[in-house]
Chains A and B, each alone.
Chain A
C-alpha cells in the first residue's frame, strides 16, 4: 500500500502554505516582503506538485501515502494519500494559486492579510484533496470556509457582507449534515466491527443497511451545494459578483472542484448501492444545471456574473460525466474540471484586469476594446472560445470525452447535452462581441497588458493549449484510479445514467 517517497511530500504540501500564512502575518508591516514570500510559497507548492507527476502509482492506485497518529481516543488518524485524481487536483491548485497571487499583485488594502488568507485557503483545499481520514477531511473541508469568508467580506465590492455570509451559511448547512452522516457511518462501522475508525478504506466495508440512503444524502448535500447544482446554487453568483479577482478565481477554479472530488472520493465509494441508484437523479441535475446555467448566463449584463453562471453550466457537464456510468465519461469529467479551472480562472483574471482599466463590468458600458488594447482583447477572445469548447483547446477535450462516454450508455442524454454547447456559444460570443467590438464608451485611455499580466495569461494559455492538444499527459494518471473507482462502486454494472 505504501509508496515510498524520499520525504513526507504530502505533509510538506500542506505545511508550506501554512508556514507561508504565518510568515505573511509576521511580515504584515512589510507587504513587499509578504508578497514575495507568498509567491515563493505558491511556486514551491506548484513545483512540488509537478514533481509528483513524475512518480508512478502502485497497483492500488495510490502514488503517495502517509499515516500518522492523531486522535487515538476517537480512532482518527492523520492519513494523507494521493492518487491520480488528487494528483491532477493538487496540480491545478498549485498552478491556480500562483496565478491568484500574480493577479492580486497590486492589492492596496491590507495586502499581507490578503496573502495570508490566500495561503490558508490553499492549505485547506490541498487538505481536502489529500485527506483519506474522514474526520481529517471534514476538518480541511470546513477550514476552507473561513478564509473565503474573509476574502469576500473584506475585499469584495458592493454587497460583500451579504454575499460572504450567504456563501458561509449555505456551505455550512451542507457540511453539518455531512458531519451527522459521517458520525452515523463511524458509529455503524464501530458497532459492526468493534473498531471505531474514520479511515476511508475501512469504512468502505461498512454495511449501512437501511441507513445507507440517509447517510449518502447527508454527504451528497454537502458536496452538491459546493458544486453547485441547481437549485442549491444561489450563493454562487452572489459570491462571484462581489468577490475580488483572486477570490473568484479560487472559488470557481478550485472550491467548486472540491464538491465533485468529494463525490468521487467519498460519497460514491462509501455508499455504492445508493450511488448507483442516484445516478439518474445526478445526471438530470447535471443537465438542468447545464441548461439553467447557460440560460442565466445569457441574460446577464454583468460579465463576471455571466462567467459565474457559465461555471454552473460547465459543472453540470461534469456532473453528467460522473453520473454517466462510463469510465470514459468520468475521465472526461475530471479533465473538464482541470480545463474549466484554467479557462474560467483566466476569464476571472481578465475581468479583474478589465475592471481595473475601465472601471466597469457592465456589458453596455464596455465595447471597442480591440482597438484600445489588442493583446488583452486577444486573450479574452482566446479564453472565451476555449471556454465554449472550441476543438484544440482545454474544455473541448473534456467535453468530447463526456459526451462520447455518455453516448455509449445513454445516447439521448448525450445528444441533449451537446446542444448545451450551442447555448455556451451564444452567451460567450455575446459577451466577447459586447466587450471587444462596438462603440467605445468615452473616458480615460485604456492601457494594454503589463508584462506581469501578459506572463500570467500566457502561462494559462499554454496550459489551455496543452490540455487541448495533448490531453494524454493528464489522462494517463486518471486511468487506474477511475477504473478502480468504477469497479469498487459497481458503477459500470449498474444501469447508470438516465433511461
Chain B
C-alpha cells in the first residue's frame, strides 16, 4: 500500500485511528463528555478531509473507490456519526454508557459505512459491512441497565451472522463462476457465465442479495427490525436505520450499476422484493402502538421505495435514490432525535399512550416530530415528498408502472400510521407529562434536521445538482 493509497483513504483513517485513540484515552481517563466531544470533532474533521482533499488516485487497491461518489457518502456518514454523538451527550450520561467505548464504536461504524459505500469489489463490500456490523452488535446492547437492549443485541447478532454467512458464501460462488471480485465485472458474470458456471453465478448473486436483504430488512428478511429498533438506545437506532441501511444501498448502487445488461433474472427478483417490501411493511406498520416499532416498519417500507429507484436505474433512478437517502436520513434522525431528547433517566416515551397531549407541553419538539413524520409520509412541503416524487418519476420513466402504483398505494395507507402519533400528540386530551426539556446539543441537532427537511422540500434544486455531479 503506497502513500497515495493512504492519502486517498485519509478520511476513513481519521475515523478509524481517531476511534482507536479515543478508546485508549478512555481506558486511562474515562471522562465521558470530553471524549464524546472530541469524537464529534474527529468526525467533523473526517468530513472536512473528505470534502476538501481531492484524492490523488481514483481507486484504492482495486477495492475502494476514492471518487466523488465515495467522498459524498464519507461526508454523509461522518456527519451522521457527529450528530448521533451529539444526541448521545445527555442520553449516554443518563444511561452510564462506557466513556471511551461508545464514541469509539460510533466512529468505527462510521468508518465501516464509509468503506462500504465506496466499495468497488465484493471483498470491499464484505469488509465494510463487517466492520460496522461488529460495532453495531455492541452498540445495540451497550445499555446494560435495560433488558431489551440485550435481547435486541442478541437478535441482531444471530441474524447478522447468518447474513454474513450468506454474503461470504455468495461471494465465493460468484468468484468461482467468474474469477473476479471487481464490480461491475462480477455482476456481468450473471450474463456471461455459461454452462455449469451459470447456476453458480445465479446462486451466488441470490445468496449475496439475501444477505444484503437481511441488512436492509427487505421482506421477508425484515423480522428482526422492530425488536432491534425498539430495544436499541434511540441514538443507536438512528445510526442503524440510517447509516447501516444507507451504506448498503450506496454499495448496491455501485454493484448493480450495469443491472439492465444482465438479462431479466435479477430485475425480476428485485421487482418482487420491492413490491412485497412496500406492501407488507405498510400493513405491519398499521398495527403498531409503539413509535419505534412503527418507525421500524416504516423503514422497511422506505427500503422498498429505495429499491424501486434502484431497479429503475439510469441517472434519474440513481439520483432519486441518493436524494431519498438524504431526505430519509434527515427525517429519521430527527424522529429518533426527538425520542432521545424526551428520554428521562433512561425511559424513552415510545408508546403512543406516552405521547398524549405532548403537542401542548413541548410544542417545539412535538411540531418537529410531526414535521418529520409528515416528511416520512411524503407530503409536501417536506423533503420526503420530493424524494418520493423522484422515485415515482424514475419508476415511470423506466416503465415500471406497477411498482409506481404499488408505491402510491403504500404511501396512501402509510399516511394513516404516520398520522396516528400526530393525532395523539395534538388531538387528544392533555395530561400532565413529565419529560425531559432537552439540552442545547439535542435542540441543535433537531433544528438542523428540521431545517434540512424543510429546505430540501421547497428548494431541492442545489442538492439535486450536487447529486447529479457525484452519481457514478
Contact = CB atoms under 8 A, between A and B. Distances in A.
Contact of A142 (B319, B380, B393): B380
Contacts of A173: 412
Contacts of B461: 69-73
Interface string B369-411: 0000010000111000100010011001100000011001001
A179 interface: yes
Given A73-B465, A153-B423, A165-B423, A172 B380 contact: no
A150 B360 CA distance: 13
B380 A150 contact: no
B415 interface: yes
Given A71-B461, A153-B423, A176-B411, A165 B405 contact: no
B397 A143 contact: no
Nearest to B377: A172
Interface residues of B, number: 31
A490 to B, nearest CB: 28
A153 B427 contact: yes
B193 interface: no
Nearest to A149: B419
Contacts of B162: none
B408 A177 contact: yes
Contacts of A71: 459-461, 464
Given A72-B465, A165-B416, A180 B408 contact: yes
B352 to A, nearest CB: 13
Contacts of B380: 138-139, 142-143
Given A70-B461, A168-B419, A150 B426 contact: yes
Interface in A417-446: none
B468 A73 contact: yes
Interface in B41-79: none
Contacts of B415: 168-169, 172
A356 interface: no
Contacts of A187: 393, 396-397
B224 to A, nearest CB: 31
A145 B382 CA distance: 13
Contacts of B460: 71, 73
Given A72-B461, A161-B427, A176-B412, A142 B379 contact: yes
B416 A179 contact: no
B465 A154 contact: no
A169 B427 CA distance: 17
A142 B385 contact: yes
- Classify chain A's interface size: 35 or more
Contact of A179 (B363, B389, B423): B389
A183 B385 contact: no
Contacts, number: 79
Contacts of B381: 139, 143
A224 interface: no
Contacts of B396: 180, 183-184, 187
A67 B426 CA distance: 38
A206 to B, nearest CB: 15
A184 B389 CA distance: 12
Interface in B304-350: 319
Nearest to B323: A73
Nearest to B386: A71
A179 B408 contact: yes
B379 to A, nearest CB: 6
A71 B363 CA distance: 32
B285 to A, nearest CB: 16
B378 to A, nearest CB: 9
Contacts of B319: 73
B404 A172 contact: no
A71 B455 CA distance: 12
A176 B408 contact: yes
Nearest to B390: A74
A153 B422 CA distance: 10
A173 B360 CA distance: 30
Interface string A154-179: 10000011001100110011001101
B426 A154 contact: yes
A143 B385 CA distance: 11
A30 interface: no
Contact of A180 (B363, B392, B426, B459): B392
Given A146-B374, A161-B423, A183-B392, A73 B397 contact: no
A110 interface: yes
Nearest to B413: A169
A28 interface: yes
B427 A160 contact: yes
B393 A183 contact: yes
A143, A149, A187: which has the most chain B beta carbons within 10 Å? A149
A161 B393 CA distance: 33
A137 to B, nearest CB: 11
Contacts of B423: 153, 161, 164-165
A244 B397 CA distance: 44
A142 B385 CA distance: 10
Nearest to B388: A179
A32 to B, nearest CB: 19
Interface in B445-472: 458-461, 464-465, 468
B293 to A, nearest CB: 21
Given A164-B427, A165-B416, A180-B405, A146 B464 contact: no
Interface in A199-236: none
Given A110-B360, A146-B374, A179-B392, A165 B468 contact: no
B308 to A, nearest CB: 13
Q: Which 9 A-B residue pairings sit nearest by Cβ, starting from the closest?
A: A73-B464, A153-B427, A142-B380, A71-B461, A139-B380, A176-B408, A183-B396, A161-B427, A154-B427
17 contacts: A70-B459, A70-B461, A72-B461, A72-B465, A73-B461, A138-B380, A139-B385, A146-B374, A154-B427, A160-B427, A161-B427, A165-B423, A168-B415, A172-B412, A183-B389, A183-B396, A187-B396
Given A139-B458, A165-B423, 19 more contacts: A69-B461, A72-B465, A73-B319, A73-B460, A73-B461, A74-B464, A139-B385, A142-B385, A146-B374, A153-B427, A154-B426, A160-B427, A176-B412, A177-B408, A179-B392, A180-B396, A180-B404, A183-B392, A183-B396
Interface of B: 319, 360, 363, 374, 379-381, 385, 389, 392-393, 396-397, 404-405, 408, 411-412, 415-416, 419, 423, 426-427, 458-461, 464-465, 468
